[in-house]
């Protein structure tokens, strides 16, 4: 199985928007996420990924077929007084279609992106997304040989666990 991560071109925005429907549907048990009058889930930040230079949209393909997407951006979930810099890379959204889960696709996609962006990373999960928390904790721990920190935030920016690590030494290997 060949996993390929590629930057989503502007011409592929509609593909990512369509995949976003499946992703947001999975979160629709939450009362904050509901479809609009046309039955579509809206993601208000999607257009910014082709406008703002600190945002990075990616498509995940397996054997050239679509398998998911990843939206990255630069920044931090932490109040500025708690950190010494502007943060690093954030995983804003991460989606692998169910048919490809538990087959290493998500892990391979994440590791590929870690290698592309050496430095500080913050990866957050919703407080009730236990499957996502398990996935990220194991992946990050294995990748960083246990050298990461986890915080539970409850602020204006984020509510839930956030794993923080610096992969500068690991990305070079």
For 137-169, write each residue's pLDDT tens digit: 999 999 999 889 999 988 888 888 999 999 888
User: What string of DSSP letters covers the chain?
Assistant: --EEEEEPPGGGHHHHHHHHHHHHHHTTTSTT----TTS----TTGGGGGT-TTEEEEEEEETTEEEEEEEEEEE-SS-GGGSSSS-EEEEEEEEE-GGGTTTTHHHHHHHHHHHHS-SEEEEE--TT-HHHHHHHHHHHHHHTTT--EEEEEESSS-EEEEEEEE-HHHHT-
pLDDT in tens, 27-39: 766 656 676 677 6
Q: What is the pLDDT of residue 111?
A: 95
Tell me which of 42-56, 81-95, 111-125, 151-165 is least confident: 81-95
77 against 81, higher pLDDT: 77
In percent, how much of the chain has pLDDT > 70? 86
pLDDT band at 20 (very low <50, low <70, confident <90, very high): confident
Average pLDDT in the 3-31 region?
86
Whether the CB-CB separation of 121 and 88 falls below 8 Å is answered with: yes
Q: How many CB atoms lie within 10 A of CB 146?
A: 9
Give the Cα separation of 105 and 95 in Å (integer): 10
C-alpha separations of 40 from 33, 43, 52, 59 in Å: 11, 10, 24, 20
Residue with tokens 């995949």: 19
Q: What is the pLDDT of residue 172?
A: 57
């Amino acid at each position: 199985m060949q996993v390929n991560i590629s930057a989503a071109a502007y011409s592929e925005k509609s593909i990512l928007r369509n995949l976003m429907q499946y992703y947001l549907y999975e979160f629709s048990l939450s009362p904050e996420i509901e479809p609009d009058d046309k039955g579509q889930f809206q993601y208000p930040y999607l257009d910014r990924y082709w406008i703002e230079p600190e945002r990075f949209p990616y498509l995940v393909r397996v054997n050239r077929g679509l398998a998911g997407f990843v939206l990255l951006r630069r920044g931090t979930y932490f109040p500025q007084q708690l950190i010494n810099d502007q943060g690093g890379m954030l995983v804003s959204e991460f989606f692998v279609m169910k048919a490809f889960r538990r087959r290493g696709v998500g892990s391979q996609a994440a590791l590929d992106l870690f290698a592309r962006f050496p430095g500080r990373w913050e990866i957050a999960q919703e407080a009730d997304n236990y499957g996502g928390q398990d996935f990220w904790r194991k992946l990050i721990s294995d990748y960083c040989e246990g050298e990461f920190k986890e915080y539970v935030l409850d602020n204006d920016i984020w509510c839930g666990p956030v794993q923080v690590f610096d992969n500068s030494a690991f990305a070079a290997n």
